[in-house]
């Protein structure tokens, strides 16, 4: 065991940027997830996600907004979150990150699940009621079924 940070072990910003390009290509192509990102520049989002994870992995500091504040007006169910998680795991794997490091990456990412997801739509209505930032609630599209962008039933 060395004292190397996860950031250094995976190959630093270069690998983070590589994974996040693959990841957001999938998100921006996905019939459900892409709707949350409508109007948001993909490259800018990739850069912020890279900066965020860099800090959490022991690399340079994240200067963006706090996560709860960014996502507070979005209805993100557990199912949607798991779908994102599935695409992230695929992307990390496709970018060539070794399995043991991929596991550590996903563990860090998952530590933010509770800050982002809402237990139920009732909770979301109760907890979020600011009139100046509209709620974003996007229903799961029908027939999202048997293609590459859907999520396997086993991960639900
Ligand atoms: C299904 C789950 C998620 C959805 C639908 C989602 C959606 C979004 C959207 C639409 C934005 C742009 C918001 C804006 O700029 O006003 C955003 C920003 C961001 N998200 Fe997420 N997100 C999800 C989960 C996560 C998770 C788990 C993380 C971290 C581990 C994360 C990290 C970020 C960061 C760092 C930004 C940029 C913040 C900034 O503008 O400074 N997101 N997300």
Kindly report, residue by residue over 102-113, the tens digit of the pLDDT.
999 999 999 999
The CA radius of gyration of the chain, in Å to the nearest whole number, is: 16
More confident residue, 104 or 154: 104
CA of 127 to the centre of ligand 1 (A): 19
Q: Has residue 60 got a pLDDT over 70?
A: yes
More confident residue, 28 or 153: 28
State mean pLDDT over 59-78.
Answer: 95
Rounded to whole angstroms, how far apart are CA atoms 147 and 152?
A: 10
Nearest ligand 1 atom to the CA of 74 is 5
Q: Is 65 in the pocket of ligand 1 (CB under 6 A)?
A: yes
45 and 37 in contact (C-beta within 8 Å)? yes
State mean pLDDT over 130-137.
Answer: 88
Q: Is 46 in the pocket of ligand 1 (CB under 6 A)?
A: no
Rounded to the nearest 10°, the torsion over CA 11, 13, 19, 25 is -160
Rounded to whole angstroms, how far apart are CA atoms 136 and 114?
A: 18
Q: What domains, with CATH codes, occur in the chain?
A: 6-155 (1.10.490.10)
State mean pLDDT over 136-142.
Answer: 94
CA of 67 to the centre of ligand 1 (A): 7
Q: Has residue 151 got a pLDDT over 70?
A: no
């Amino acid at each position: 065991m060395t004292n190397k940070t996860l950031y250094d072990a995976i190959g630093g910003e270069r690998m983070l940027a590589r994974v996040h390009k693959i990841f957001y290509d999938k998100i921006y192509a996905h019939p459900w997830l892409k709707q949350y990102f409508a109007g948001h520049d993909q490259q800018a989002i990739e850069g912020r996600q890279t900066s965020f994870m860099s800090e959490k992995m022991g690399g340079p500091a994240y200067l963006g907004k706090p996560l709860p504040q960014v996502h507070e007006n979005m209805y993100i169910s557990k199912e949607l979150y798991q779908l994102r998680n599935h695409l992230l795991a695929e992307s990390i794997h496709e970018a060539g990150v070794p399995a043991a490091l991929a596991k550590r990456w996903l563990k860090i990412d998952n530590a933010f699940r509770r800050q982002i997801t809402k237990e139920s739509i009732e909770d979301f209505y109760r907890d979020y009621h600011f009139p100046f930032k509209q709620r974003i609630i996007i229903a799961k599209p029908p027939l999202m079924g048997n293609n590459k962008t859907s999520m396997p039933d086993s991960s639900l």
